[in-house]
Structure 1
């Protein structure tokens, strides 16, 4: 499993668009945000809805700037996202 993210880490939400339910709102798919906090490990509802069991995964509160999501706005939107639906965004020049 991927490493845990920490508050302040920049992450990209999955761009996946499967034929089944996915707990990543369409408006954040592919967007870059910042981890605000870890919410603990929880079962993945996507799997449970399809009758699958699996190991609970870390859930993160991720904040996205409105400009990133909608192209305008000065506010932010915070969404809870399971770890499997996030990937680290490397900051330019830091290797992180």
Structure 2
């Protein structure tokens, strides 16, 4: 699987609430961020935690979010590492 996203692209974190383990922090779900870089390919943590014998291996991205967008205040950025299946391309207007 090749990396779908490139540095600088805007992505939206999927707003999911799975029954089991996930590495998607609640505070970024549904928010738009910017790809900083791809960290390589890693086994999907959700499937590892579920005991899947051969978990999917996906690109993992560092995604930056404006703190003000997440919490309504703060002039800094927050970065989170997210697997590719957690994110989708955001439209130019953030949709």
TM over 0.5: yes
Aligned residues between the structures? 92
Spell out the pairing of 1:9-28 with structure 2 (5 A cutoff).
9-28=9-28
What TM-score does the superposition give when structure 1 sets the normalisation length? Answer: 0.89
1:32-89 deviation line (CA, Å, top 9, x unaligned): 0000000000000100111112331000000000111001110110000000000000
Q: Specify the alignment match of 1:44 in structure 2.
A: 44
What TM-score does the superposition give when structure 2 sets the normalisation length? Answer: 0.90
- SS of the equivalent of 2:34 reads strand
Residues in 2 aligned to 1:79 and 1:2: alpha-carbon distance in whole angstroms: 20
Q: Specify the alignment match of 1:61 in structure 2.
A: 62
- CA RMSD in angstroms, aligned pairs only: 1.6
Q: Which runs of 5+ in 1 are unaligned?
A: none
Instruction: Tell me if 1:72 matches 2:73.
Output: yes
Residues in 1 aligned to 2:42 and 2:75: alpha-carbon distance in whole angstroms: 32
Select between 40-49 and 50-59 the one with higher mean Cα deviation: 50-59
Residues in 1 aligned to 2:38 and 2:2: alpha-carbon distance in whole angstroms: 14
Q: Specify the alignment match of 1:8 in structure 2.
A: 8
Q: Which runs of 5+ in 2 are unaligned?
A: none
